[in-house]
Structure 1
């Protein structure tokens, strides 16, 4: 059984604007819809609403273009074509950039984050799509065969060609692509002159302030009871704040009816990791927050703290199955 749940809520509720240059009647321009296969929203605070809506339309075009590179569900995407043939010549520069970033995180995390984990994901999807599938998941022999195709060290990345050197290898960038696309959209908006914005494209990113002059806020829910918020924090680009936040939780996407087996797979064992109920990371970029939240989810707290220490300013919140929260990283 496959299900998806959200554990991050970004707040844009506002009263009358109070910052000096705002118009008395200023209200955010809001878009809500589906992006990257999930519910999403973008909110812009600007006095010229028609212009802001035109910029939002450009953002939607950019999301569509990037999905055409990273999607695993589109057979004609660049990533799907790479997985089908094991080689992609003249790859899009965004694929080269994000895969290079992913491989750097794979090395830094000792393989806890690994973009080549797709053969294991495919194994679980196939297993639980089979009528009468064993509730404990794939057999040890099946896991061993899938793990033999996993190995981030056997991926060649260059501007002119990407190659997968292991037989049966396939990549997924689902652990970092939402953050990357969030950053790209934020960059497009800021280049257009937007200074007050909030993006929720699976991962969150905020700049400036709400229309009432208050900081943007995010609430992280209890994985065991999503109606209950565990903690809140302010997001933004001002001193003392971080702009991006990502949350990973095994219970967000599960394979079995009992929700014991989930998508946060440990590449070393091929099985779901159960160190934390959820992990939230705040960082300077949504790409980094997204990738780190995935990596920390399959690491014990001590190793996770060592990985986080390599990224100055990043903070993480580890939630256990009882809803207790432990913060690591910068205070």
Structure 2
């Protein structure tokens, strides 16, 4: 992150490391509010906590009320569910758990992959109210961290902080007058970069099959139509005006070519495939090393 006297506020939240960098130290009361926001979000949306709203959905069908951020989250997930033909879905939780990525983090499969249930068979997502016809294991991992980055940024801006970087373990949002160089991690060697992006006033999110990977070819990016890990792409990057959109589209790029997604969404992108080739949008802000 930038030098020159910038201050960092680091903490752990939703199972990952966070750093907020700003030219001036954040007020202690603002820091406390940010930590409270992260804890509240985790208590609402985590499928790894028995006391969360999401865990309540997994135990009991019926009506479940969520905070206001659920409105935009549901709209985005539904749009990407349609755009990917059901491959990207918030209903992939049961297969993740069976393959070992559950609350206990066993990372040992307990059964074979499961296709996700059809959205309209089990879930009505209307605004901030989710109504289920059966117990549902909801997983918002493809967009949730980006959504929380946006909520953190909104809290900073509401307190008058207008220049900052929010870094949620690689999901980045930069606000302020200057661009920040961000390395694009090599999908097979985290000590190397395949390029760099000058990030200014936007969010950059990445998704990679080598992160949260375990066992024999298992990783966290599953195709909702089969319940099995995706094999074609190995790493993606998406740049958008919000971190929630960039986060979600970085996952969607594993299922749909970026050019197709650009017909419905305003973003730029880079995809690296398992054969070593790469594709990117014409306006991609990054520079790839040769």
Shorter-chain TM-score tier: 0.7 to 0.9
TM-score by length of 2: 0.87
1:153 to 1:189, Cα distance in 2 relative to 1, 3 A: same
- Distance in 1 of aligned mates of 2:156 and 2:128: 29
Aligned to 1:305: 259
**Residues 1:108 and 2:72 aligned together:** no
Greater RCO (Cα-Cα under 8 Å, separation 6 or more): 1
> Which SS does the other structure have where 2:184 is aligned?
strand
Q: Structure 2 residue aligned with 1:182, among 136, 149, 152? A: 149
> Any idea what SS the aligned residue of 1:62 has?
helix
1:87 equivalent in structure 2: 62
> How far is the alpha carbon of 1:164 from its aligned partner?
2.2
In the alignment, which residue of structure 2 is the partner of 1:44? 22
Give 2:206's aligned residue: 247
Paired residues of 2:144 and 2:244 also in contact (CA < 8 A): yes
Q: 2:8 aligns with which of 8, 30, 33?
A: 30
Give the C-alpha shift of residue 183 in structure 1.
0.3
Q: Distance in 2 between matches of 1:130 and 1:269?
A: 19
2:187 is equivalent to residue 226 of structure 1: no
Deviation at 1:53, TM superposition (A): 4.3
The alpha-carbon deviation at position 92 of structure 1 amounts to: 2.6
| Contact preservation (8 Å) 1:281, 1:317 | yes
Residue 129 (structure 1) shift: 4.6
Q: What runs of 5+ residues in structure 1 fail to find an aligned partner?
A: 1-11, 16-26, 238-242
Map residues 107-256 of structure 1 onto 2, 5 A cutoff.
107-125=82-100, 129=106, 138-139=111-112, 143=113, 146-147=114-115, 150-154=117-121, 155-159=123-127, 161-165=129-133, 167=134, 169-202=136-169, 203-209=171-177, 214-237=178-201, 243-256=202-215
Task: Tell me the distance in 1 between the aligned counterparts of 2:161 and 2:41.
Answer: 21
- Tell me the TM-score normalized by structure 1: 0.77
How has the CA–CA distance of structure 1 residues 129 and 195 changed in structure 2, closer, same or farther, with 3 Å as cutoff? closer
User: Counterpart of 2:219?
Assistant: 262
SS in 1 for 2:225: coil
For residue 74 of structure 2, the aligned residue among 60, 84, 99 is 99
1:13 aligned onto 2:2: yes
Measured against aligned partners, the alpha-carbon deviations of 1:91-112 in whole angstroms (never above 9, x if no partner) come to 3333344233322221233222
1:37-88, Cα deviation, whole Å (9 max, x unpaired): 0122111123xx3x54442332121111111111111111111112221223
Task: Find the counterpart in structure 1 of residue 278 from structure 2.
Answer: 325
Q: CA deviation at 1:221?
A: 0.6
Partners of 1:118 and 1:98 lie apart in 2 by 17
Asked if the contact 1:265–1:298 (Cα under 8 Å) also holds between the matched residues in 2, the reply is no
> Shift of the alpha carbon at 1:138?
4.5
Q: Any conservation in 2 of the 1:216–1:234 contact (CA below 8 Å)?
A: yes
Correspondence 1:55 to 2:12: no
Partner of 1:93, secondary structure, is coil
1:293 maps to which residue? 250
Which has the larger share of helix?
A: 1
Q: How many angstroms apart in 2 are the aligned matches of 1:172 and 1:88?
A: 17
Shift of 1:29: 2.0
> Which structure has the highest strand share of the two?
2
